[in-house]
Each structure stands twice: as structure tokens, then as C-alpha cells.
């Protein structure tokens, strides 16, 4: 039939298949077998030819290339009458039929490896028998081909992805390799073969019944099924299930449910294209109003894709959505999936030992020497030479640095890039507290403005409300000079799962000193939260008051009882007050930004960057504060990267360096009391004394094995 459509100049397909030869363009009068456009043009020509008959209600016509499937409901005579109409149209168009390949008056038909019987369809017996007779594949290439053959019938297999998950893993690697079958793999393969034959038949779509799509999603996958309801009885039409990509896992339940609806509609699109309104069932109640009213950019892409279909969303409780829930969880595993962690080359390059400046050599700069000799100002500052040969500012005793670009870059790299990528004010305070650098404001502003990491991560400044400042000032006066007494806590997550299985972290902040403590968590169960608090309290001590929000893990009976046992007053937010726990929530935002910056630099999991981010946050100087939170909490100054650049060898460092190599200690005699000789000698009779130290002695046995004993035990034993 491929040659039947006319391609003359007067037809619709005019000049559709040209052929150029010797500067002359020829056009085929008939469609050509093998041309790229031929199947498309042939399908369109037959659809146009039978368009009027397809719009009638006498029967249904399915056109698949050169095959016509004609179905009717009624008597054989009505079927013949419908066939006569079709034959008449085809005859007038000059189309010829191959009678040998035609089948008439069939109630059961095999087509494209499927068996269609009345209003049901299922894998054909011929195709299934062929797959059953095949032996179990030996090589990976053969197994992949076999799985793809079964994949053709996956719409009839409810748990196809779960059954074939391990089988597809066997196909990875060299396709010629021989497969090592385990008992679990053999069971999965046998189950796949059995399921193809034992799966219930699917329902054909017709004008009877109503279509409905049931969906569900979890953090491991999404799934559902399309069903047709007749007389309050649902019949399955199509099953689907997909794993969720790693980049989209651990997102909100609303996002995953919307994604499940989108995937389900796309999978069932050929079956629902003629449905005016499709009913979608979900066990996530917020979706009912969200699709109609939400303007959030997080969901806009999904909502726009869903809006292209005419759907009516209906909420059902979880117990009524069991099959969709089971299909979405076929990819779930009870074990924590821990990824192997390998330190990247980029991280190794970052861990460079900081080499201190040779300050005396740097201060041999011409401008510094001229300012000293002529008693002139050095960039507006009076400078003096100390007894140790270091030039400092006269008023605040800060080390003077020359105006050299490569020195500026090294200082900015330590004070900004390797110290958390804080803003200009914090970085400036960190530098100006230790040294005097000429034209610091101008050079630092240009450096931070051109910092790629800061441009990627930094959030837009938030508007400040004056009313909030009054409340915070009042609170700061109350908690002044009360270190680690008034605490605020909150949890952040879920985050991408790390190689250690962590997905959340706990943050505790001291409201008085602003000292922050963090702890990575695998989950937010009350047991995990309590364990983290116990560990933190064992190091920093217990506070008297703890402020949290109304999250389930903070209001659980187990956590409330723990607070009572520790005699800690537990305060929670007023309901619907988003700023009630502002201290902890604001520091979570800051910590998250620092962690993101460290990840961009070092390419590590967030839980490995969390301790470093916390330390960097505690070592910055706040506004109107003489000391940073680390100093106020521990009572000593922290070692910053910039401070390491300025360090000079002290007496302790010189002492340690001179004693790096251990000196041999000469053995000394042991003097004992003879009266205790017979009492303790049997314990050491088989040993020979070969050396003594200040606390221990070395003994050698007859088998040449050496041992060390405390010297006190040898009192009473003769040397």
C-alpha cells in the first residue's frame, strides 16, 4: 500500500520527495519505499482519506501505517455495513488491499505482539512462549536484549522497575563479559518471566466508564496507574513507575507530588489525548488549591505542564491510595546508601601549608623607609620602628605592610577566600585588627566585587524593619553577659544525603555571645536530636533556657521530658509567628551560605564543610563588638589564616624544633631490696633485663621476645 498515495503536482504531497540528478530535479509520482518522509506522508494520507468515516459513531478505526484495525459494537451485519463504507472510500482512492493478510469478524486478534480480546488486551501467547523457551542469557549483551524485549510489555507489569533493578545492574560494563548469576538474580529473572504470563489483562479504552489517574511519590521514586471505572469497579489500563534523579531527591513533598502528576500524564498521553477531563487522585491535600492559586517559581514549570491537560484533582487518604503508594516505593531501600568518598584533587590543592611573611624583608619598601627617615606620614598614619625591627603604626601598634599588589592578593586570599567568603565589612575588620594595609577599602571592594563564589551564593539584602530592631535590642540587654545561658536551636534539612548518611543538621546559638554550635544528623527523630544535645552539652555545658520553634521533634514528649530532666526551661514560638526564633533561623541561612561556598571551592559533602563553616562564623568580629564569639566563649583568641601569615617563631616553637629527634637514653641499674627477691622473682625468672628508663624497664625472654614492664613492679627483684 506504500505505493498507492499519489505524489503528482496536483496532490497535497507535491514535490515532497525530490531527487536531483545532473542539475535536474525529478519528483516521484508515487511514494517511495525507504524514503525518510514516506511513512509520515502515508499515515497522513490515509488519515485524511478516512477522516469523515472516523468521525462517525458507527465504529472505531485505528490506523498504524499500512494496517487498519476496525472495531464495532453490535451484530455482524452492522460490522459488514461499516466495512462497506470503508471499502468504498478506499476503492475510489485507488487503494488495493492484500486479502491474504486480512482477517474479518474476529473477536480475538493478535497485533504487534499483543492479544486484543473484546475490551481487554494482554501480551500475546506466541510472543510470551518465545520468551519462555529462551535460555537464561550468558553474556551482558544478551541479558540487555532480553530485558528490552520484556520492557515492551512493561505497561502490563505492575512492578517492572523493582523486578529488573538488579538485572539491569548486571548489564553494566563490557557487554561481552559472562554474567555471574546469584540466587537473588535468578529469582528476579524467573519472577519477571512469570509476571509476564500471570499479569491480569489491561482494559481497552472506549466510550464506557470514566478514566482516573492515581499517583503517589516519595523521595526514592514516583508511580501510579491509569484505570477505567465501570459500575464503581476500577479496571487497570496502564502502570508506570520511575526512579527520581539524585538531583531532585529530598525536595518537598509538594514538588514530588507535582512531578508525579506530570510524569504520569506524559506516560499516559496517547491514552488520554481524547479525554475532555481526567480525574487525578493524590493523597497530598495541598495540591487541590496549589494548582489553582500558586505563583511560586519553584512549582511554576510543573504547574504549566500539568495545566496543558484537562484534569480534576481530588484528594484521597493514604489508605485508599495503596497501589500508587507501593509503585512509588519500589526503588526504596531500608539501608542507608553511603557513597564512597574520595578527596578531590582540587581539595588537595587547597590544603596548602601557609608560609608566614618575612615581615622585615617586606618592610624594606622604599616608601616605608622614606616615611621613617623623614618622620612623614605613611598613607595618613604615623609609623615607628620597634626594638625587634618591626615597623608598626604609632597609635594602635599594627604591623605596616607595603603597597604591593601580590602581597594584597595573598592577604585577601587568606582573609576572604579561605575564611568563609564574608562580606567587605567583616573582611575589612579581620584585616584591620591585625595589620595596616594602604588603601584597604578601595582594593578590598574591588576584590570582593570580582569574587565569583560570592556572586554565585550571596543572597540579596533583606529589608530591615525598625520594629524588629527595638525588640532585638531589648532582648540583647536582657541576655548581656550571660554566656551559654540563653540558647536558641533549630534544624535544617532535608539536604542531599552525604557519604556518611547525613541529611540534616542541628544548630544551637548562644543569644548573648552569638557563639554557634552545629551537629550533622542522619534524621530528625527525637532520639537523634537528644543524642546531639547530650554531646554538645558534654562539651560546652548546659544552658538554663532553650528557645525553639514548634517542629514535631522539639514538641515530642520524649524531647520535652529530656528538657525537664536536664532542668532546662524549654520555650517555643507563638503559633504563626515566623520571627519567634529569628536568631537560630538567621544563623542557619548564614551557615548554609558558607557551606555552599566551601563546597564550590573544595568539592566535598556539606557535612564535611559544616565544622569549618561553623568555626569561621565564630571567629568573625560582629558590629560594635570588641571580641568575636570564639573569644567570648573560650576566653582566648582563635588562630585565623591571616594570623598564621604574621606569626614569628617563639621560644616554644624553637624548643619543639630543636627536640624533634629523640635522643637515646642510656640504661641505668635497678636497685632493689633483697628481702623481696624470692617473692617477686618468679614472675620475671624467664626474662633478662636489657634496659631501663624513668618509668618502664625492658625485658628479653629466652624466645627473643621483648616486653615492657612498669619499673615500680621490679622493687624487690635483684638486677
What the chain holds in terms of domains, given with CATH numbers, is 18-105 (3.30.70.270), 120-198 (no CATH), 205-328 (3.30.420.10), 351-443 (1.10.340), 466-618 (3.30.420.10), 674-714 (2.30.30)
Pick 280 or 665 by higher pLDDT. Answer: 280
Average of pLDDT values for 529-548? Answer: 91
Q: Provide the 3-class DSSP secondary structure of residue 106.
A: coil
**For the chain, first and last CA: distance in Å?**
113
Neighbouring CB atoms inside 10 A of 310's CB total: 10
pLDDT tier for residue 654 given thresholds of 50, 70 and 90? low
Pick 442 or 701 by higher pLDDT. Answer: 442
Q: Are 431 and 415 in contact (CB under 8 A)?
A: yes
pLDDT tier for residue 464 given thresholds of 50, 70 and 90? very low
Share of the chain above pLDDT 70, in %: 76
Beta strands per DSSP E along 512-560: 516-521, 545-548
How far apart (Å, rounded) are the C-alpha atoms in residues 123 and 128?
7
How far apart (Å, rounded) are the C-alpha atoms in residues 77 and 105?
10
| β 60-64/120-123 pair status | unpaired
Cα–Cα distances in angstroms (integers) from residue 558 to residues 503, 505, 525, 531, 687, in the given order: 22, 19, 10, 12, 59
CA atoms within 13 A of residue 415's CA, in its CB half-sphere: 29
pLDDT tier for residue 234 given thresholds of 50, 70 and 90? confident
Q: Are 201 and 153 in contact (CB under 8 A)?
A: no
How far apart (Å, rounded) are the C-alpha atoms in residues 505 and 536?
13
Cα–Cα distances in angstroms (integers) from residue 357 to residues 350, 360, 361, 438, 684, in the given order: 19, 9, 9, 17, 58
Mean pLDDT of the chain: 77
Pick 668 or 544 by higher pLDDT. Answer: 544
pLDDT tier for residue 518 given thresholds of 50, 70 and 90? very high
Neighbouring CB atoms inside 10 A of 252's CB total: 12
- pLDDT(582) > 60: yes
Q: Please give the pLDDT value at position 342.
A: 41
Number of H helices, E strands in the chain: 29, 25
Task: Please report the sign of the dihedral spanned by the C-alpha atoms of residue 461, residue 466, residue 470, residue 471.
Answer: negative
For the segment 304-313, what is each residue's pLDDT rounded down to a tens digit?
888 888 788 8
How far apart (Å, rounded) are the C-alpha atoms in residues 686 and 198?
78
Cα–Cα distances in angstroms (integers) from residue 583 to residues 357, 501, 514, 580, in the given order: 39, 28, 9, 9
- pLDDT(330) > 50: no
How far apart (Å, rounded) are the C-alpha atoms in residues 669 and 682?
20
Cα–Cα distances in angstroms (integers) from residue 4 to residues 28, 62, 92, 274, in the given order: 12, 19, 12, 30
- pLDDT(348) > 50: no
How far apart (Å, rounded) are the C-alpha atoms in residues 444 and 425?
10
How far apart (Å, rounded) are the C-alpha atoms in residues 11 and 4?
13
CA proximity to 574, closest of 545, 544, 549, 546: 549
CA angle 261, 263, 265 (to 5 degrees): 65
Angle, helices 424-432/405-415, rounded to nearest 10 degrees: 110
Neighbouring CB atoms inside 10 A of 660's CB total: 6
Complete edge-to-edge strand list for the sheet that includes strand 545-548: 516-521, 504-510, 486-492, 545-548, 569-572
How far apart (Å, rounded) are the C-alpha atoms in residues 470 and 483?
22
Q: Are 415 and 616 in contact (CB under 8 A)?
A: no
Choose the weakest-confidence range: 9-23, 24-38, 662-676: 662-676
Q: Provide the 3-class DSSP secondary structure of residue 629.
A: helix
Choose the weakest-confidence range: 187-191, 239-243, 382-386: 239-243
Cα–Cα distances in angstroms (integers) from residue 683 to residues 489, 604, 680, 701, 705, in the given order: 59, 55, 6, 12, 15
Pick 525 or 657 by higher pLDDT. Answer: 525
Q: Please give the pLDDT value at position 690.
A: 60
pLDDT tier for residue 206 given thresholds of 50, 70 and 90? low
Q: Please give the pLDDT value at position 345.
A: 39
For the segment 607-653, what is each residue's pLDDT rounded down to a tens digit?
899 998 999 888 887 766 678 888 888 888 887 777 777 766 554 45
Choose the weakest-confidence range: 372-376, 389-393, 691-695: 691-695
pLDDT tier for residue 28 given thresholds of 50, 70 and 90? confident
Q: Please give the pLDDT value at position 243.
A: 80
- pLDDT(284) > 60: yes
Largest interatomic CA distance in the chain: 132
- Please state the φ and ψ torsions of residue 304, each to the nearest 5 degrees: -65, -40
- Please state the φ and ψ torsions of residue 47, each to the nearest 5 degrees: -65, -40
Specify which residues 242 forms β-bridges with. Answer: 222
C-alpha cell at 575: 503559633
| β 278-282/210-217 pair status | parallel
pLDDT tier for residue 531 given thresholds of 50, 70 and 90? very high
Average of pLDDT values for 538-566? Answer: 90
C-alpha cell at 89: 472510500
DSSP code of 296? -
Choose the weakest-confidence range: 3-12, 176-185, 702-711: 3-12
C-alpha cell at 702: 629466652
- pLDDT(434) > 90: no
pLDDT tier for residue 350 given thresholds of 50, 70 and 90? very low
How far apart (Å, rounded) are the C-alpha atoms in residues 594 and 610?
8
Q: Please give the pLDDT value at position 416.
A: 84
DSSP secondary structure string, 345-393? HHHHHH-PPPPPP-HHHHTT-HHHHHHHHTT--BTTB-EEE-TTS-EEE
How far apart (Å, rounded) are the C-alpha atoms in residues 243 and 249?
10
Q: Please give the pLDDT value at position 506.
A: 93
Amino acid at each position: 500500500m506504500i505505493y498507492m498515495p499519489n505524489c503528482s503536482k496536483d496532490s497535497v504531497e507535491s514535490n515532497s520527495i525530490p531527487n536531483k540528478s545532473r542539475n535536474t530535479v525529478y519528483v516521484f509520482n508515487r511514494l517511495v519505499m525507504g524514503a525518510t518522509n514516506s511513512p509520515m506522508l502515508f499515515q497522513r494520507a490515509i488519515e485524511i482519506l478516512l477522516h469523515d468515516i472516523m468521525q462517525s459513531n458507527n465504529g472505531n478505526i485505528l490506523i498504524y501505517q499500512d494496517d487498519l484495525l476496525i472495531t464495532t459494537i453490535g451484530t455482524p451485519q452492522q460490522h459488514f455495513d461499516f466495512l462497506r463504507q470503508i471499502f468504498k472510500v478506499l476503492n475510489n482512492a485507488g487503494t488495493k488491499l492484500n486479502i491474504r493478510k486480512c482477517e474479518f469478524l474476529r473477536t480475538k486478534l493478535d497485533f504487534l505482539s499483543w492479544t486484543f480480546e473484546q475490551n481487554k488486551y494482554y501480551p500475546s501467547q506466541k510472543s510470551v512462549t518465545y520468551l519462555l523457551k529462551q535460555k537464561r542469557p550468558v553474556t551482558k549483551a544478551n541479558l540487555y536484549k532480553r530485558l528490552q524485549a520484556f520492557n515492551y510489555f512493561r505497561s502490563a507489569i505492575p512492578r517492572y522497575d523493582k523486578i529488573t533493578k538488579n538485572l539491569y545492574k548486571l548489564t553494566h560494563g563490557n557487554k561481552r563479559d559472562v554474567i555471574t548469576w546469584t540466587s537473588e538474580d535468578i529469582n528476579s529473572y524467573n519472577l519477571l518471566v512469570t509476571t509476564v504470563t500471570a499479569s491480569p489483562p489491561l482494559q481497552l479504552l472506549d466510550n464506557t466508564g470514566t478514566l482516573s489517574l492515581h499517583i503517589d511519590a516519595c523521595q526514592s521514586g514516583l508511580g501510579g496507574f491509569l484505570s477505567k471505572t465501570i459500575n464503581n469497579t476500577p479496571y487497570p489500563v496502564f502502570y508506570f513507575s520511575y526512579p527520581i534523579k539524585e538531583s531532585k531527591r529530598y525536595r518537598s513533598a509538594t514538588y514530588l507530588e507535582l512531578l508525579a502528576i506530570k510524569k504520569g500524564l506524559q506516560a499516559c498521553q496517547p491514552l488520554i489525548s481524547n479525554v475532555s477531563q481526567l480525574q487525578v487522585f493524590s493523597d497530598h491535600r495541598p495540591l487541590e488549591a496549589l494548582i489553582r492559586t500558586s505563583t511560586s517559581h519553584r512549582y511554576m514549570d510543573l504547574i504549566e505542564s500539568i495545566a496543558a491537560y484537562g484534569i480534576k484533582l481530588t484528594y484521597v487518604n493514604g489508605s485508599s491510595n495503596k497501589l500508587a503508594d507501593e509503585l512509588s516505593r519500589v526503588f526504596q531501600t531500608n539501608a542507608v546508601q553511603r557513597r564512597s568518598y574520595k578527596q578531590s584533587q582540587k581539595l588537595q590543592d587547597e590544603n596548602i601549608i601557609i608560609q608566614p611573611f618575612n615581615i622585615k624583608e617586606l618592610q624594606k619598601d622604599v616608601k616605608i623607609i622614606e616615611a621613617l627617615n623623614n618622620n612623614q606620614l605613611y598613607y595618613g598614619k604615623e609609623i615607628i620602628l620597634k626594638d625587634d625591627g618591626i615597623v608598626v603604626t604609632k597609635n594602635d601598634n599594627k604591623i605596616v605592610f607595603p603597597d604591593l599588589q601580590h602581597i594584597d592578593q595573598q592577604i585577601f586570599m587568606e582573609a576572604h577566600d579561605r575564611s568563609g567568603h564574608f562580606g567587605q565589612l567583616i573582611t575589612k575588620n579581620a584585616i584591620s585588627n591585625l595589620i595596616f594595609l594602604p588603601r584597604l577599602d578601595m582594593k578590598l571592594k574591588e576584590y570582593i566585587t570580582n569574587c565569583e563564589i560570592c556572586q554565585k551564593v550571596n543572597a540579596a539584602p533583606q529589608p530591615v524593619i525598625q520594629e524588629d530592631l527595638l525588640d532585638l535590642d531589648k532582648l540583647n540587654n536582657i541576655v548581656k553577659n550571660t554566656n551559654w545561658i540563653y540558647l536558641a536551636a533549630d534544624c535544617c534539612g532535608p539536604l542531599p544525603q552525604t557519604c556518611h548518611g547525613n541529611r540534616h543538621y542541628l544548630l544551637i546559638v548562644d543569644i548573648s555571645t552569638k557563639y554557634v554550635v552545629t551537629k550533622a544528623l542522619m534524621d530528625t527523630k527525637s532520639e537523634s536530636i537528644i543524642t546531639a544535645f547530650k554531646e554538645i552539652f558534654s562539651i560546652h555545658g548546659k544552658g538554663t533556657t532553650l528557645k525553639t520553634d514548634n517542629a514535631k521533634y522539639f514538641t515530642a514528649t520524649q524531647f520535652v521530658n529530656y528538657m525537664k530532666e536536664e532542668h532546662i526551661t524549654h520555650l517555643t514560638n507563638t503559633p504563626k509567628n515566623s520571627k519567634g526564633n529569628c536568631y537560630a533561623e538567621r544563623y542557619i541561612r548564614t551557615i548554609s551560605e558558607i557551606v555552599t561556598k566551601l563546597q564550590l571551592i573544595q568539592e566535598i559533602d556539606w557535612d564535611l564543610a559544616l565544622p569549618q563553616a561553623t568555626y569561621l562564623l565564630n571567629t568573625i568580629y560582629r558590629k560594635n563588638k570588641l571580641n568575636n564569639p570564639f573569644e567570648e566563649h573560650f576566653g582566648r583568641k582563635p588562630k585565623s589564616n591571616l594570623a598564621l601569615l604574621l606569626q614569628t617563631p617563639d621560644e616554644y616553637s624553637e624548643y619543639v624544633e630543636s627536640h624533634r629527634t629523640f635522643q637515646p637514653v642510656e640504661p641505668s641499674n635497678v636497685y632493689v631490696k633483697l628481702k623481696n627477691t624470692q617473692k617477686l622473682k618468679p614472675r620475671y625468672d624467664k626474662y633478662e633485663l636489657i634496659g631501663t628508663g624513668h618509668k618502664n624497664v625492658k625485658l628479653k625472654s629466652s624466645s627473643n621476645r621483648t616486653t615492657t614492664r612498669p619499673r615500680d613492679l621490679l622493687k624487690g627483684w635483684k638486677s
